[in-house]
Amino acid sequence: MFSTDTDILKTAEGWRRAGKGVAIATVVETWGAAPRPVGSHLVIDEDTNFLGSVSGGCVEGAVITEALDVIADGKPRMLEFGVADESAWQVGLSCGGRISVYVERVD
């Protein structure tokens, strides 16, 4: 079961109020088959706690790693992930889908 946008935003707010660095990742575009639709969110704190989902598999791990850099330097990033059909299942993008994920710090 996926968390709602309200859950994700309340969690981000709680982590910020607790003094933690926080980033939010949002799926902004998809092509072909993608596990999560445009508008899906993943919130990450500086301790690598997270809630929500932007894809799954290795993509989610890469987004979390990038989010830690965004928290540290404050510079947002646009991330793009795409795979060939042969390797799609390994990285969590079924049927060769591609996604763009925008990651920004929550201040």
Q: What is the pLDDT of residues 62-71, one digit of tens each?
A: 999 999 999 9
Contacts of 93 (CB under 8 A, 6+ apart): 33, 34, 35, 55, 57, 59, 81, 82, 83, 99
**Poorest-pLDDT segment among 34-38, 56-60, 77-81, 88-92:** 88-92
DSSP type of residue 84? -
Which pLDDT band, with edges at 50, 70 and 90, does 6 fall under? confident
CA angle 46, 52, 53 (to 5 degrees): 105
pTM of the model: 0.85
Q: Which residue(s) pair with 24 in the sheet?
A: 43, 104
pLDDT at site 92: 53
How confident is the model over 77-98, as pLDDT tens digits? 999 987 654 545 555 555 567 8
